Amino acid sequence: MLHPPTIWHSLLEATLSLSARLNQQATGGWYQLGLLRLMGVKVTGPVAIAPGTSFLGAGNLQLGRYVTIGADSRIVSWAPVRIGDDFMASDSLTINSGGHDPVTLQPQIAPIQVGDRVWCGAGVTICSGVTIGDDVVIGARSLVTKSLPSNCIAYGSPAKPVRPLERSQPRVWSMWPERAAGGHLEGASNLKRWLHWLRARI
């Protein structure tokens, strides 16, 4: 028989997935923020969590503003995991702050820190003890076993910086209209921008 907190957590995850399936055209509602907080996640918001995403050790997870996590992702935060603002990940992201000693198989945990404006392609895995700087793009299927500096594009298994990343402004492409640079709302009226802002949160 499942322990009651596990049942409660599973119900919250199922509701989170259902909310994403019912609201596919929006970025993420206020209700997702509330569901994550009920799980114990420290979240500033707004956030958009796609269907099938699961959380273990949710009380050790901290999410910044404008965080987007793709479908079928898994975040295991036995040690603290902090994700900064404007984080965007495609499907099947894995972040795991737990592991084992390869010789003794004794459990080991180490915190993970992810900076601002980090983008992850599909199938990225971020391992325990890793720190990722600001303005980093991580290629699809990459395995991040060592820390990555700010302002780089990295990929591979293990992931390594392959070239610098230069951004002329801190705003980047985003699902949230007030964050997107160079989008169709840049020159829109305040009313239209406000309506898009509201639609992204309902």
Helices then strands, each counted (H, E), the chain: 3, 19
Token representation of residue 44: 């500033």
DSSP string, 131-156: EE-SSEEE-TT-EE-S-B-SSEEEEE
Confidence at 199, pLDDT banded by 50, 70, 90 = low
What the chain holds in terms of domains, given with CATH numbers, is 4-170 (2.160.10.10)
Find the mean pLDDT for residues 30-56. 91
The pLDDT tens digits of the residues spanning 158-185 come to 999 999 998 776 667 777 766 766 655 6
pLDDT in tens, 97-127: 998 888 888 999 999 999 999 999 999 999 9
Length reported for the chain = 202
- Is 147 within 8 Å of 131 (Cβ atoms)? yes
Average pLDDT of span 29-49: 89
CA geometry: angle 163, 184, 179, nearest 5 deg: 60
